């Protein structure tokens, strides 16, 4: 397993999450939103697997990761066998009571079921390799990924330019190009949330993000993962 932190803020912005001295304390409401059971939380451990810090979102661009948390399955030969997809995450958080940070019990149960199903699929692949029923055919993968649009390509270039300007002390100019990337590729939440967080730390899940999610209406934030 290799984790990737998409954060233009670099190691300092994610250090406490990728290399904590002790397991991170997660409040009960957040555990419910993430689909963790109490048993899973009780088994939490400090991560020992590698974590890449992708300041320019290069991995996101190359592996079609438009959001987090997403996962890509790559076999021992370096072949992608499942393309980027939500790793057990669901849209359940959209039904959270903002006053109490709680979810309806049915939503909690559905989130835990989705998390368990995804973990079960990963374990099946580890046990059975290419014979796992969760491994996708090349045709299915091609259909999932599709082609890179002109807007996506320009969005990636805009984001890279924003990173360059920020690295060279031109934060105001950088903000313009981060905003342009988000405008060109509105379904690529990485761009939008990164721009929010660079503008004000912690705002990637704040009111502006919540408003943008609300504007989706009936459209999903996380696409469903058929398993």
Task: Kindly report, residue by residue over 155-197, the tens digit of the pLDDT.
Answer: 999 999 999 999 999 999 999 999 999 999 999 999 999 989 8
Beta bridge partners of 6: 54
Q: What is the pLDDT of residue 147?
A: 85
Give the whole-angstrom CA distance, residue 108 versus residue 30.
11
Structure tokens at 84: 């980027």
Paired with 52 in beta bridges are 4
**How high is the mean pLDDT in each 10-residue block of the chain (227 residues)?**
93 89 90 91 92 93 93 96 95 92 94 95 97 95 88 95 94 94 94 90 90 96 91
Domain ranges of the chain: 1-146, 148-219
Q: Give me 191's structure tokens.
A: 């761009």
CB atoms within 10 A of CB 168: 10
Q: Which pLDDT score, from 0 to 100, does residue 140 have?
A: 92
Which pLDDT value is given to residue 148? 87
Written as six digits, the tokens of 35 are 């689909």
| pTM for this model (two decimals) | 0.90
């Amino acid at each position: 397993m290799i984790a990737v932190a998409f954060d233009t803020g670099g190691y300092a912005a994610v250090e406490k999450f990728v290399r904590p001295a002790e397991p991170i304390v997660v409040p009960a409401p957040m555990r419910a939103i993430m689909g963790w059971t109490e048993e899973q939380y009780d088994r939490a451990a400090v991560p020992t697997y590698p974590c890449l810090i992708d300041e320019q979102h290069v991995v996101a661009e190359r592996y079609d990761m438009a959001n987090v948390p997403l996962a890509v399955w790559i076999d021992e030969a370096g072949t992608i066998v499942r393309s980027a997809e939500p790793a057990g995450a669901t849209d359940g958080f959209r039904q959270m009571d903002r006053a109490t940070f709680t979810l309806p019990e049915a939503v909690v149960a559905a989130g835990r079921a989705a998390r368990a199903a995804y973990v079960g699929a990963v374990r099946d692949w580890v046990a059975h390799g290419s014979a796992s029923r969760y491994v996708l055919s090349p045709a299915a993968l091609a259909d999932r990924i599709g082609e890179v649009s002109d807007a996506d390509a320009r969005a990636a270039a805009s984001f890279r330019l924003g990173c360059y300007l920020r690295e060279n002390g031109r934060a105001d100019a950088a903000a313009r190009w981060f905003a342009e990337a988000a405008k060109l590729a509105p379904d690529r939440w990485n761009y939008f949330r990164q721009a929010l967080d660079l503008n004000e730390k912690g705002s990637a899940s704040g009111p502006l993000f919540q408003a943008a999610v609300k504007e989706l209406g009936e459209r999903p934030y996380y696409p469903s993962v058929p398993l």
